[in-house]
């Protein structure tokens, strides 16, 4: 891509340590460097929950905070951050903090359809250039307690990095009976609005 479609000079800075997000950027052949924002997301979420902020607003806020934090350390660089939240029956879920929390989330999702909100934020030198929070709808089949326990044993601590305690790109596909939405949105880094912005700004070839 550096000699193909990319026209923006220095690579993107991805403010994330997510393997899924790195894989998506690499597959789209967007040059990038990864730099974890290092923020305490749980602490940032707490006041949002107290205010009753919805899932889309929460995801957007967290993505913006991560992008701004990394951009402050890397002046002049184009910084991309993302975040995901989940809404089911009026409740907002974020990443589970423990196996017990993962069991509770999977139990809540069992037999229900939920909305997955995936936010991106693009920042340069403290200026927010792009924000988007597309949504996907996913239907979880009824899950037995035995399945949930076996699933968590197999996946291990990896579920703690995924909202809803699933990794749909891996073993988590066994949880679902219907999925509606763009794959990159479901995996946590909506590429279509990002690519649309980059093309419009001449950062990738039209």
Residues belonging to the active site: 83
CB contact at 8 A, 180 and 136: yes
CB atoms within 10 A of CB 8: 14
> Which pair of tokens denotes residue 28?
């789209």
Q: Are 79 and 120 contacting, i.e. CB atoms less than 8 angstroms apart? A: no
Burial class (CB in 10 A: 0-12, 13-18, 19+), 104: middle
Q: Which of 81, 185, 61, 184 is nearest to 123 (CA)?
A: 81
125 to each of 25, 99, 129, how far by Cα in Å? 22, 39, 10
């Amino acid at each position: 891509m550096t000699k193909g479609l990319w026209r923006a000079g220095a690579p993107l800075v991805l403010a994330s340590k997510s393997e899924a997000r790195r894989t998506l950027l690499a597959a789209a052949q967007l040059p990038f460097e990864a730099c974890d924002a290092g923020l305490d997301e749980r602490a940032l979420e707490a006041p949002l929950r107290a205010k009753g902020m919805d899932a889309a607003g929460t995801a957007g806020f967290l993505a913006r905070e991560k992008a701004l934090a990394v951009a402050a350390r890397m002046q002049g660089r184009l910084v991309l951050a993302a975040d995901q939240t989940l809404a089911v029956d009026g409740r907002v879920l974020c990443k589970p903090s423990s196996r017990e929390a993962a069991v509770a989330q999977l139990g809540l999702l069992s037999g229900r359809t939920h909305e997955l909100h995936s936010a991106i934020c693009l920042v340069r030198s403290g200026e927010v250039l792009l924000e988007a929070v597309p949504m996907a709808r996913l239907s979880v089949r009824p899950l037995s307690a035995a399945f949930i326990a076996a699933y968590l044993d197999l996946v291990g601590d990896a579920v703690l990095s995924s909202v809803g305690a699933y990794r749909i790109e891996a073993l988590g596909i066994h949880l679902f009976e219907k999925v509606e939405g763009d794959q990159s949105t479901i995996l946590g880094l909506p590429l279509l609005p990002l690519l649309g912005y980059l093309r419009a700004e001449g950062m990738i070839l039209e």
